Amino acid sequence: MRKLALATIKPPTPYDRLILARTYSVDHWMVPALSALCERTTPLTLYEALQMDIEDVVLVATVREDIRSHKLRIDADDISRHVEAARAVRLASGQGPQPIYHKEGDR
């Protein structure tokens, strides 16, 4: 049932994909949804931010700010790589609180 639902559902927005991915543990939707939220021209709405995990809100805001201020010089394809790296840090166990996003020069 789950496989059929995942194969046929097409959430209308990146925000919807992210919320559904978090709610139903659809890991392969998370990075594309976060990347799309970073790339879109409109900022997160208050409603969207309140429904998202705080880590996701900070990640999207940080990547968007870095792209718009030209601190982060990447093309759209590289955004997914940065989102995946941030998720990996978040999922690392037993290492205590860590920053969820690093710019290339901060390592």
Amino acid at 73: R
CA-derived radius of gyration, the chain? 14
Rounded Cα distance, 38 and 80, in Å? 9
Residue 101, class by beta-carbon neighbours within 10 Å (0-12 exposed, 13-18 middle, 19+ buried)? Answer: buried
Is the pLDDT reported for residue 10 higher than 70? yes
Predicted confidence (pLDDT) per residue in 12-54, tens digit: 899 999 999 999 888 888 999 999 999 888 999 999 999 999 9
Rounded Cα distance, 34 and 90, in Å? 14
**Confidence (pTM):** 0.65
φ/ψ of residue 96, rounded to 5: 70, -175
User: What confidence score (pLDDT) does residue 8 get?
Assistant: 77
